[in-house]
Structure 1
Amino acid sequence: MYKEPAAPNWDDLLLVRAIADSRGMPGAAAEFRISASTVFRRLGQIEALLGVALFHRHRSGYELTPAGADIVALAQRLEVDIAASLRRVAERQELLAGELSIVVDETLPPLLVPSFAEFLRQFPDFCLHVTTVDRAPDLSAHDATIMIFANGEPSG
């Protein structure tokens, strides 16, 4: 019965690519800030995991096998896809904008102002309209996007 091979993690793919780019252990070790022996050991683990050699070892350096070339190509595609996804996420973040009407209990502004300020730092395209009242308004009137009220007696 066919068993799906175990998959290397992202760091494994990056390590294989670094070995390929530098054609050896010392360059990859420098890029990852680890020892060449650690790179050598980790490559052995990755190859054992995949069940295939990723490099031909020569005196002049390491040369990718066809399987190794596939892994490097995969790492490059994933890196491009990850960068594109992160850009899309950042663009969505920038699209968060609008107006919020907030009605708060008159006793709460000293407690809430720092939170409102932090919100506006994180989302500068929002406009907050804060109104204080001495009693809770009628919720069915939809006078606010958000209503914040203290309930009960102060403790202490």
Structure 2
Amino acid sequence: MKSLPEWTDLRFFLELARSGTLSGASRRLEVEHTTVARRIDRLEQQLGATLFDRSREGYELTEMGHAVLPHAESMEAAVLAAQDQLSDTEVAVRGVVRLGVPEVLGVRVITPLLARFLQEQPDLSVDLLVQPRFANLANREADLGVTLDPPSTGRY
């Protein structure tokens, strides 16, 4: 084994082991079936072992594939646990944001929602720039801009 396998390759391995077909794994992973095949080939090359028996009916784990499976599942469980822990951790939101908005939208919609939002985020300050035109972000008139229509010029 020349290098350690990538976690993403092991994800492809797990999905193929679970679905039994390239098309099933590709649907679950939202990639082309050729990508799944390429990732499995790379993983097998890195591990120096055949992980699947290929047939017309699909893919079936070999003895080595069965040996790798619990390790890949453990890695998946660790990644999911980390993701759960991180999603429970609150990210501190602080600083000043200048928000440019059209007049009616700013007064009737944004302002009532902003009051409650700022109570939940006491370290954040929002300068609401209520304007009859789009705030020029390139000239740093605002940090964020809300429009009712998409801009017709510029890179926005």
TM-score between the two structures when normalised by the length of structure 1: 0.52
Q: Give the letter for the 2:71 counterpart.
A: L
- Give the C-alpha shift of residue 64 in structure 1: 0.6
**Secondary structure in 2 matching 1:93:** coil
Paired position in structure 2 for 1:63: 60
The alignment of Structure 1 onto Structure 2 pairs a total of residues equal to 108
Q: Does 1:78 align with 2:71?
A: no
List runs of 5+ in structure 1 lacking aligned partners: 97-111, 129-156
TM-fit CA distance, 1:55: 0.5
| Per-residue Cα deviation, 1:37-65 (whole angstroms, up to 9, x for no partner) | 33223321221111100011233221111
Structure 1 runs of 4+ off > 6 angstroms?
Answer: none
- Residue 6 of structure 2, aligned match among 4, 9, 14: 9
SS in 2 for 1:53: coil
Deviations 1:50-92 (A, max 9, x none): 1100011233221111221233322221222122223333444
Could you tell me the percent identity over the aligned residues?
28
Q: 1 CA distance for matches of 2:63 and 2:119?
A: 48
RMSD: 3.5
1:1-156 alignment to 2 at 5 Å?
5-93=2-90, 114=97, 124=120
Larger Rg: 1
Inter-partner Cα distance in structure 2 for 1:62 and 1:55 = 6
Cα 1:122–1:14, aligned 2, differ >3 Å: closer, same or farther?
farther
Q: Counterpart of 2:60 in 1: which secondary structure?
A: strand
